[in-house]
Structure 1
Amino acid sequence: MTERLALVTGATGGIGGAVAEALLRHGWRVRGLARDPDRARRTGPDGVDWVAGDAMREADMIAAARGARVLFHGVNPPGYRDWRGLAVPMLAHAITAASGAGARLVLPGNLYVYAPEAGPEVGEDAPRRPRTRKGAVRVEMEAMLEAAAGLAHLIVRAGDFFGPRAPSSWVTTVLMREGRPLRRVVTPEVPGAGHAWAYLPDLAETFARLLDDEATLPHHLALNFRGHALHGRAMAEAVARADGGRPPVRSFAWALVYLGAPFVTFLREVIEMRYLWSATLQPDNARLVARLGAEPHTPLDAAVAASLAALRARAA
């Protein structure tokens, strides 16, 4: 087996790209799977060895994983379309590929697997009883890892992603308006409710530090990443500060979402996940801190400013 080779799927996207960069910094050789390797070389992280392939084709995954010590599964279905029909087969192919290569399969988890009553502080052993379809799919995916005989895996669960490489996050699309001028900052939180946010460079550094000691990790390991555990409008106010404090903070127009939901699949999915903005679900990271000593953490204002600057650079 090639020493310290990681296959990263989804390396042109948010979490996959951030993890690829972190692993490269830590001395790993990183292989990326892309349908268009030439485009991936232009848009993805520098230093990745790109190979042609599609996560929806099992043979491509098996070929790409040969010699890998780690398979980071960072690919997601685009938007909210056919989530189960795409996410489950892609993970099944990743399991087959990792098992064949003798690699540890690494999955970025989220809080969709928990119902509101699991909070406000959520430990790794909290019951996974989601009320949403997307949450049920995530529980099914985690169960697939647990059921795969002989497969070592690592799951790190975190809140909503944001960062320089977070093209489809709430912060990117709603709070920061994809780098366009901010006339206002709209926020969906219920006043007083807590919400967990994961700055991707910090989360990716966490994965890299854990994988540096991959050989010592338990065969099956799930950990929580706390990130920025904020309340009320704290994230929106940080975005406004990053823009010079000029744009006012306003409440998200949920009424318009409900009006458009009968006609737009994405809006129906947004409504289904609305509970995450009214129920406090903060990940308890005590086990992660016990293993690493400390969780990588960039101060909120610095993380938001870097994210907004990167969005505007891309928009320009």
Structure 2
Amino acid sequence: MGGTREALVLGATGGVGGAVARRLLAGGWRVRALHRDPERVRRAGDGLAWIPGDARDAARVTEAARGTALVVHAVNPPGYRDWDRLVLPMLEASLVATRAAGARLLLPGNVYNYGPDAFPHPDEDAPQHPLTRKGAIRVAMERRLAEAAAAGVRSLVVRAGDVFGPGMTGNSWFALFAQRGRPVRRLWYPGPGGIGHQWAYLPDLAETMVRLAEREADLPAFARFHTRGHWDADGTRMAAAIARALGRERLPVHRVPWALTRPAAPFVPFLREVREMLYLWNAPLRLDNARLVAALGAEPHTPLDRAVAATLADLGAAGAGQGLKPTRPLPVSRMPLR
């Protein structure tokens, strides 16, 4: 991408937004970050130009985006709450700002868009018939980007599996394995054993997004790419990598007893929203990244052990990086319901 190398990041305190902001800075971009309370989140030496504002305020976002070449829309309502009320208005504010700046909008995509008719290896043109409310909203977001592209507003969607990595938030499924500042004594696995699951390492995902954004001249007005990330073919590879990073000889793995959460789900919004997405753990879904490889030559990829060790070190997990030689953790198929 020639000319202006300035970007606005919405959601810079989140996992994906923060990773993209750091990668942009490392690549010589000047990066602005919008937040309702920038004084609370500003960190000395983070390199970001923090601007006060609400992602739903189109006028404020437009002012923050003035003169930029890239608007990163990586903001979501916290705790899975109020998607139906907030997600599309926030996207609309970013589209207004992107149009005014003559920039490209970058949207981190996910697999919520897909129902079983697209499994197991959807490409970018696979049918989008989601089973959930959040999936329907994600489909509506991409439909809106396609409409805006027809009117001259450029966008880029980069889709990935579940994220993990330094700077990730508690919204990641990886939080079932390890939480910030807490020792890892056991792992809680969300799905049944023997079913593959796709993960995306945040620094790799950010690298992919920025490389694509910097190829502006090669991108169509509405560009979509899939990443492959890390594939855990049977649900044991991620657990084994965590055990190795922690230097644990034996790390118990238990399946989450979702049946016990059913009575509380109607009264606990987070539980209700998470339970809605469990179908993505009950069948293998591995994104086809052929279009991305054709564009970049290869997908950025950090070896799993190194990626997991960096994630656990960032979380402050006790024992991360000790480098011992543990045996494999219990297979998921043998997890007791506790």
TM-score normalised per structure 1: 0.95
Q: Which of residues 147, 150, 153 in structure 2 aligns to 1:151? A: 153
The reply to whether residue 292 of structure 1 matches residue 296 of structure 2 is yes
Query: Could you tell me which residue of structure 1 aligns to residue 200 of structure 2?
Result: 198
Query: Could you tell me which residue of structure 2 aligns to residue 63 of structure 1?
Result: 63
CA deviations over 1:106-163 (Å, ceiling 9, x no partner): 1000000000231111111110000100000000111111111111110001001111
1:178 to partner: Cα distance: 3.2
Aligned 8 A contact 1:162 1:169 in 2: no
Supply the AA of the counterpart residue of 1:134.
K
Pairing 1:89-168 to 2, within 5 Å after superposition: 89-148=89-148, 149-168=151-170
1:259 to partner: Cα distance: 3.1
1:233 to partner: Cα distance: 2.5
1:2 to partner: Cα distance: 6.9
1:47 to partner: Cα distance: 1.1
Aligned 8 A contact 2:184 2:317 in 1: no
Pairing 1:226-305 to 2, within 5 Å after superposition: 226-231=228-233, 232-245=235-248, 246-305=250-309
Distance in structure 1 (CA, Å) of the matches to 2:227 and 2:238: 18
Aligned 8 A contact 1:156 1:222 in 2: yes
1:242 to partner: Cα distance: 1.8
Larger Rg: 2
Indicate the SS of the match to 1:204: helix
Supply the AA of the counterpart residue of 2:80.
Y
Supply the AA of the counterpart residue of 1:24.
L
Distance in structure 2 (CA, Å) of the matches to 1:93 and 1:83: 15
Distance in structure 1 (CA, Å) of the matches to 2:317 and 2:217: 39
Deviates more, 1:282-291 or 1:51-60: 51-60
CA deviations over 1:85-104 (Å, ceiling 9, x no partner): 11111000000110111110
Aligned 8 A contact 2:163 2:174 in 1: no
Query: Could you tell me which residue of structure 1 aligns to residue 323 of structure 2?
Result: none
Identity of aligned residues (%): 57
Question: Which residues of structure 2 form unaligned runs of 5+?
Answer: 319-338
Distance in structure 2 (CA, Å) of the matches to 1:207 and 1:60: 25
1:63 to partner: Cα distance: 0.4
Query: Could you tell me which residue of structure 2 aligns to residue 212 of structure 1?
Result: 214
1:179 to partner: Cα distance: 3.8
Query: Could you tell me which residue of structure 2 aligns to residue 74 of structure 1?
Result: 74
Supply the AA of the counterpart residue of 2:117.
E
CA deviations over 1:68-90 (Å, ceiling 9, x no partner): 11101011100111112111110
Aligned 8 A contact 1:110 1:158 in 2: yes
Aligned 8 A contact 1:179 1:308 in 2: no
Aligned 8 A contact 1:152 1:219 in 2: yes
Distance in structure 2 (CA, Å) of the matches to 1:186 and 1:170: 13
1:189 to partner: Cα distance: 2.3
1:26 to partner: Cα distance: 1.3
Supply the AA of the counterpart residue of 1:198.
A
Q: Which of residues 175, 178, 181 in structure 1 aligns to 2:177? A: 175
The reply to whether residue 51 of structure 1 matches residue 55 of structure 2 is no
Deviates more, 1:79-88 or 1:259-268: 259-268
Indicate the SS of the match to 2:79: coil
Question: Which residues of structure 1 form unaligned runs of 5+?
Answer: none
Query: Could you tell me which residue of structure 1 aligns to residue 36 of structure 2?
Result: 35
Distance in structure 1 (CA, Å) of the matches to 2:252 and 2:140: 41
Query: Could you tell me which residue of structure 2 aligns to residue 5 of structure 1?
Result: 6
Distance in structure 2 (CA, Å) of the matches to 1:139 and 1:285: 19
Supply the AA of the counterpart residue of 2:241.
A
After TM superposition, the runs of 4+ consecutive aligned structure 1 residues lying more than 3 A away are 169-172
TM-score normalised per structure 2: 0.89
Name the CA shift for 1:47/1:75 in 2 (closer, same or farther; >3 Å).
Answer: same
Aligned 8 A contact 1:189 1:233 in 2: no
Distance in structure 1 (CA, Å) of the matches to 2:203 and 2:300: 9
Distance in structure 1 (CA, Å) of the matches to 2:289 and 2:165: 20
Distance in structure 2 (CA, Å) of the matches to 1:62 and 1:274: 37
Aligned 8 A contact 2:130 2:136 in 1: yes
Aligned 8 A contact 1:186 1:236 in 2: no
1:313 to partner: Cα distance: 7.3
